[in-house]
Amino acid sequence: MRLAHAISKRGARGILLAMATMTLASAASWGAGDAQAGIDVFAGQCAECHSMKEGKNKKGPSLFAVVGRKAATVADFKYSDAMKSSGFSWTPEQIDAYVTAPKKAVPGGIMKYDGLTEAKARADLIAYLASVK
């Protein structure tokens, strides 16, 4: 259901229904992830450039406790201007969008990664990232 259609046809109740539907659809894409399987995804896709240890930056910033963190806030890491001005926080939905297509999610960013197209692998990765706090 499109939000504009919900607004015109159902008023406030339609807006809430449309928002809930979109939220559930987003949650379904990452909420069913397997954190154990996400360890393998991280090892194969992310570990060359990122660490899961607090305070250990590599080519990319540490991803320790990344879920919920404001973007571009890891101390002692030099972020691109694009990432610094992104203004978002690393919600599961934002991580999903970024890992799918980093250059689309943050135009002008410097991460050298083309993206992970497999939804299940992204869900597993996000579950793993969310488990490390």
Query: What does the pLDDT read at residue 32?
Result: 85
Same domain for 40 and 12? no
- What pLDDT, on a 0 to 100 scale, did the predictor assign at position 101? 97
Q: How far is CA 106 from CA 19, 31, 54, 81, 94, in A?
A: 24, 23, 24, 10, 11
Low pLDDT (below 50) residues in the chain: 1-10, 12-29
CATH value at residue 39: 1.10.760.10
Based on the domain organization, do 55 and 68 belong to the same domain? yes
Q: Are residues 77 and 13 in the same domain?
A: no
pTM of the model: 0.76
pLDDT for 90: 98
Same domain, 26 and 38: no
Please give the residue range of the domain that contains residue 27: 1-31
How many domains does one find in the chain?
2
Residues 113 and 127 in one domain: yes
pLDDT at 66: 98
- What local confidence, expressed as pLDDT, does residue 65 receive? 97
The pLDDT score that the predictor gives to residue 13 is: 45
Quickly list H helices, 34-118.
Answer: 35-45, 81-84, 92-100, 102-105
117 with 70, same domain: the answer is: yes
Using the Cα atoms of residue 15, residue 89, residue 86 and residue 108 in order, give the sign of their dihedral.
Answer: negative
